[in-house]
């Protein structure tokens, strides 16, 4: 599995003033990148056939952990959510994290735990953290231009993992994929009251992939 193009594109992604690049040279950025590299290595051993492509990192989840749909609560899980090891999955926990859990991460992991193996891969269509101007501890919807800039990174990851089925979590991901001719299954984003619909759609994921 060659992730060279993925990492090259990710590190070249610009960040405006109201979006945070998560994998920079500062201590928190290096920790997030180590966690992401470890996550991708673990998923490489699993061989996922499906990717859940979300919209963007949230300030309580991936912005802390470095891993899509994972908050500190998932990093600390025993047994590990990915390996099943009683000692956990081997992720690094940041010192004094600004948040310990995220609703979307909790909902997503609860839903995918009921799926037959292998686990799906997680990634956002825009991997920077978009926030309100001057308020890094907030979330905003990524702009169309940001989604367009992030999509090649997502597609590089899909190619590297030889993903068979792309599942768009939310309208932004769905629209970006459609504009670029990528066939994807669309599911409701779990945020803002969408948990029940998202969970029921994920439960049907095996059937949806075959449609």
Which residues lie below 8 Å from residue 17, measured CB to CB, with a gap of 6+? 133
8 Å CB contact between 35 and 66: yes
Interatomic CA distance for residues 153 and 164, integer angstroms: 17
Q: Where does the chain have alpha helices with state H?
A: 4-11, 27-46, 62-65, 72-75, 103-112, 144-160, 171-179, 195-203, 205-210
Provide the pLDDT for residue 37: 98
Consecutive sets of 10 residues in the chain, 211 residues long: mean pLDDT of each?
A: 96 97 98 98 97 96 98 98 98 95 95 93 97 96 92 96 93 83 88 86 72 52
Provide the pLDDT for residue 89: 98
**DSSP assignment string, 102-139:** -HHHHHHHHHHTTSPSSPPEEEESS-SEE-BTTBSSS-
Provide the pLDDT for residue 192: 73
pTM of the model: 0.94
Provide the pLDDT for residue 189: 85
Provide the pLDDT for residue 75: 98
Provide the pLDDT for residue 66: 98
Q: Which has the closest alpha carbon to 124: 100, 158, 74?
A: 158
Interatomic CA distance for residues 152 and 25, integer angstroms: 22
Q: Output the six-digit token pair for 126.
A: 């825009």
DSSP single-letter state for residue 51: E
User: Residue 193 CA to chain centroid, in angstroms?
Assistant: 19
Provide the pLDDT for residue 182: 85
Interatomic CA distance for residues 90 and 118, integer angstroms: 19
């Amino acid at each position: 599995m060659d992730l060279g193009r993925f990492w090259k594109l990710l590190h070249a992604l610009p960040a405006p003033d109201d979006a945070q690049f998560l994998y920079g040279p500062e201590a928190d950025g290096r920790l997030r990148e180590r966690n992401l590299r470890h996550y991708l290595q673990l998923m490489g051993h699993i061989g996922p056939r499906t990717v859940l492509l979300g919209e963007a990192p949230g300030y309580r989840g991936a912005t802390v952990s470095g891993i899509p749909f994972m908050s500190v609560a998932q990093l600390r899980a025993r047994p590990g959510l990915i390996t099943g090891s009683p000692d956990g999955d081997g992720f690094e926990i940041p010192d004094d994290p600004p948040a310990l859990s995220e609703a979307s991460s909790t909902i997503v992991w609860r839903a995918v735990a009921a799926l037959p193996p292998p686990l799906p891969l997680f990634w956002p269509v825009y991997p920077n953290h978009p926030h309100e101007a001057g308020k890094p501890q907030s979330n905003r919807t990524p702009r169309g231009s940001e989604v367009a800039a992030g999509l090649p990174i997502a597609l590089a990851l899909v190619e590297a993992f030889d993903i068979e089925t792309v599942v768009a979590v939310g309208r932004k991901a769905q629209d970006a994929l459609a504009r670029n001719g990528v066939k994807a299954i669309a599911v409701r984003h779990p945020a803002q009251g969408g948990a029940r619909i998202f969970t029921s759609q994920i439960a049907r994921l095996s059937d949806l992939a075959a449609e």
